[in-house]
Structure 1
Amino acid sequence: MRKVVVAAYSDDWKKKFDEEARELQKIFGIEILMIHHIGSTSVNGLSAKPIIDMMPVVRDITKIDTYNEAMIAIGYEPRGENGLPGRRYFQKGGDQRTHHVHMYEIGNGEIDRHIAFRDYLRMHANAAKEYADLKEALAKQFPYDIESYINGKEHLASEIEREALRWFREFSYSSIKGVEIC
């Protein structure tokens, strides 16, 4: 049984992302257009479960399954779509997870959703603190119940996501129009 652990932010998380991104780039080569560090470990100062979430954006999602053996060779478990159509999901580390890889084809709307959530928390310290405080409290309340932990943060995460997407669209639209937003 996995224990729900929420740890204080670590500078090592960026280094672990960078190292793993290089490994994924070696495997997938030109199929990967970019790799984003997403999730709580990508937000400086935010407490998180110490699992690095990565989002490679690929040219053609239908080709990704042909790389499953190479991913297994570096410790990943291929999980297919894992409940989200258009995604390919891999996890590394078994019960002691270290990385989650969420792959999407360029143009998939999930890409903006993940980036909006990350960037909103990076730019809005109050929302990030509220989210971190809730995750820490839930981890203490449900140390061996990942489902209750996830369900407990769902409402706040959805609120932040809605606000983040609104903010992201306004930011993107303003950027297109040449308005500088600081």
Structure 2
Amino acid sequence: MRKVEVTSYDGDWPMKFEEESKQLHHIFGSEMIEIHHIGSTSVKGLKAKPIIDIMPVVKNISWIDKFDAEMINIGYEPKGENGISDRRFFQKGGDDRTHHVHVYERGDPEIKRHLAFRDYLRKHPDILKNYGDLKEELSNLFPNDIESYIKGKAQMVSEIESKALVWYQGFKS
């Protein structure tokens, strides 16, 4: 059973992203256009589940399945789309997850959503604090119930996401 654990920001998370991204560059090679550290571990100062979320952006999503064996060799479990159309998802660490890899094809709107959310939190410390506090509170309320944890933060995530997308569009224009 997965335990829901939210910890204080760990300064080693960016290094863990860099280490893993080197392996992913090696596996995906020229198919990969860019790679991003996303999710809560990518936001300095944000409390988070200690799982490094990585988002490779690739030329053709349909070719990614051919890398499943290589991903398995470095400890990942291929999960296919895992509920999000046109994504390939990999997780590492079983019930004690350490990494999630979310692969999208260039131009997918999910890329902008992830980057907007991350960058918005980086620039808005008051929202970052409120979001981190909620996550910590929910992890204490639901230490063995990931679904309730996710449901508990859904409204705040949706509100932040809406503001972030408007902000990001203005920021990137």
* TM category, shorter: over 0.9
Q: Could you tell me the percent identity over the aligned residues?
A: 61
Partner of 2:138: 138
State the superposition RMSD in angstroms.
0.5
**Any idea what the Cα deviations from partners look like across 1:36-71, whole Å, max 9, x if unmatched?**
000000000100000000000001101000000000
Partner of 1:38: 38
2:136 counterpart of 1:170: no
SS at match of 1:96: coil
Distance of 1:81 and 1:152 partners within structure 2? 24
Partner of 1:149: 149
Where in structure 1 are there 5+ consecutive unaligned residues? 174-182
SS at match of 2:90: strand
Deviation of 1:171 (Å): 1.1
Partner of 1:178: none
Superposed counterparts of 1:69-80, under 5 Å: 69-80=69-80
Partner of 1:10: 10
Distance of 2:47 and 2:31 partners within structure 1? 32
2:101 counterpart of 1:112: no
Deviation of 1:170 (Å): 1.1
Where in structure 2 are there 5+ consecutive unaligned residues? none
- Moved beyond 6 Å, runs of 4+: none
Task: Indicate the structure (1 or 2) with the bigger Cα radius of gyration.
Answer: 1
Distance of 2:30 and 2:172 partners within structure 1? 27
Distance of 2:31 and 2:75 partners within structure 1? 20
**Any idea what the Cα deviations from partners look like across 1:9-59, whole Å, max 9, x if unmatched?**
001100100000000001110011111000000000100000000000001
TM-score, structure 2 normalization:
0.99
Deviation of 1:166 (Å): 0.5
Partner of 2:101: 101
SS at match of 1:139: helix
Compare relative contact order (CA 8 Å, sep 6+) and give the higher one, 1 or 2. Answer: 2
Partner of 1:180: none
TM-score, structure 1 normalization:
0.94
